[in-house]
Amino acid sequence: MSNATLKELSVRLAAGDCSSVELTQDFTSKINNLGKELGCFITVDAERSLAQAKAADARRAAGDAGPLTGVPLAHKDIFCAEGWLTTCASRMLSNFVSPYDAHVVERCNAAGMVTLGKTNMDEFAMGSSNETSHFGPVRNPWNPETVPGGSSGGSAAAVAARLAPAATGTDTGGSIRQPAALTGICGLKPTYGLVSRYGMIAFASSLDQAGPMARSAEDLGLLLNVMAGHDPRDSTSLERPVEDYNRDLEKPLQGLRIGLPKEFFAEGLSADVRRTVEAAVAEYRKLGATVVDISLPNMGLSVPVYYVLAPAEASSNLSRFDGVRYGHRAAEYTDLLDMYKRTRAEGFGAEVKRRILIGTYVLSHGYYDAYYIRAQKLRRLIAQDFAAAFGQCDVIMGPTSPTTAFKLGEKSADPVQMYLSDIYTIAVNLAGLPGMSIPCGFDGGGLPVGLQIIGNYFDEARMLNVAHQYQLATDWHQKAPGGAQ
């Protein structure tokens, strides 16, 4: 059962072929074994999960079930969940038990889904490899000596290893799409504001967006149907009509215009990734799509722009973690100011400290105009490039990551090289656009390659259609790492 998709599990539950309790027991058993080796989970609570499963089975027996009632999933540990330890993979929150549910968790609970546990991540979502976690790194199930990508690496590895049929993630600069690519699963970052950020511990508020991670495009749509929706508690949540994001899955791709930005295929892209992505584009041609060469001239500025704006917002958002109200507090200090200093020095890891320092610097007097304001102006130019491109094409395609999964520790000593892992994903967040990654093949070493699909604002249904039709013609998304079958 653990090898079934969300859709297949939904059908089996509806037919009475299995119960939610049986599913939950199956997944928790696997988590207790393989999950520890991979470091996917920070917190599991089998008793709490089984209680949810029993409640879901009771709902089905009473005829009060939705499509995903009784289906298990995992939540990235950035989402507050009532009664669950919610750490953001940081020592700072290592003892924080949330008193309330995030909007995303609330919606999944209302749908009757079962929480299997809270997944590991880069500390406060800051990282591209899932090596900055206070609880240790996550390992890629395709090769445990390599990274799963970050910051949603725990969610990605859990889905890839079949420890969960789906998981939630967050994407600030590629943190759903990049780990999805590196672990051979599907991940979707929705249009900014489509999914509420309420109860999602903030990193960079104008960039953070929650989204689904699963094994197929169809599964992503099923989960997005649950997660999306207006939330008055989040001022950035958009009030839009309810959609079925899977409504267009079966539409043929005849006449689809695919834009290929020349900047996505320039220096820095590995030969294996290029070859595999080009083969995927060739498959789309067979499905009736046409290809248009486009340009995103300011895309090269996205990394420096992001690493001004995101740390600036992080500096502000993380100022609340001071040891006064909740979370870690230094054991010894002389006065209030000393308590602040010692608590933050002990509670935050090296990457978080680096970004707080950068953010505080660019927001300081004398540098605000030179860095922060200029970065905001460039952000607008990047968004305008996408607007012009969508005048020529329906979707944009390219690699999700310039390389496949790299070795643990390979880039830890070089932050710039680590940051460049997100070179193809960051611009999407800066523009607030939806983007997704789907598996499209493997490199010479047997590691997955991800194809990135970028849509115009609120075009998630079209993107899922484009991905689904490719998955009907190929089977890359059905491949599983050894031991996960």
d(CA 300, CA 298): 5
Q: Respond yes or no: is residue 76 known to be catalytic.
A: yes
* pLDDT, tens digit (0-9, with 9 covering 90-100), for 140-198: 999 999 999 999 999 999 999 999 999 999 999 999 999 999 999 999 999 999 999 99
- Does residue 360 lie within any of the structural domains? no
421 as an active site residue: the answer is no
Kindly state whether residue 126 falls inside one of the protein's structural domains.
yes
Please list the residues that pair with 293 across neighbouring strands. Answer: 260
pLDDT at 410 over 90: yes
Could you tell me if residue 440 is inside a domain? no
Active-site annotation holder among 10, 49, 155, 175: 175
| Position 99 in a domain | yes
pLDDT at 483 over 80: no
Instruction: Count Cα neighbours of 258 within 13 Å in the Cβ-side half-sphere.
Output: 25
27, 76, 187, 238 from 159: Cα distances, Å: 11, 12, 10, 29
**pTM of this structure:** 0.97
Question: Is residue 484 very low, low, confident or very high in pLDDT (cuts 50, 70, 90)?
Answer: low
Angle among Cα 350, 178, 291 to the nearest 5 degrees reads 145
Tell me the backbone φ, ψ of residue 66, rounded to 5 degrees. Answer: -100, 180
The span from the CA of 55 to the CA of 22, in Å, is 13
CB 401 within 8 A of CB 149: yes
Q: Collect all residues with Cβ–Cβ distance below 8 Å to 335 and sequence separation of at least 6.
A: none
Q: Is 327 exposed, middle or buried (0-12, 13-18, 19+ CB in 10 A)?
A: buried
In a domain, 446, yes or no: no
Residue 354 in domain: no
Domain count, the chain: 1
Paired tokens of 296: 């995103």
What is the C-alpha separation between 6 and 468, in angstroms, rounded? 14
Examine the residue annotation and report whether 175 is marked as an active-site residue of this protein: yes
Amino acid at site 347: G
pLDDT tens track for 61-76: 999 999 999 999 999 9
In a domain, 104, yes or no: yes
Whether the predicted pLDDT of 271 surpasses 80: yes
Q: Is residue 233 part of a domain?
A: yes
- The single residue of 2, 10, 19, 76 carrying the catalytic annotation is 76
User: What CATH number has the domain bearing residue 16?
Assistant: 3.90.1300.10
Please pick, among 49, 98, 133, 151, the residue that the annotation labels catalytic. 151
Which domain, by its residues, includes 15?
6-255
Tokens of 1: 């059962």
**One-letter amino acid for residue 312 of the chain:** A
Q: How far apart are CA 79 and CA 472, in angstroms?
A: 33
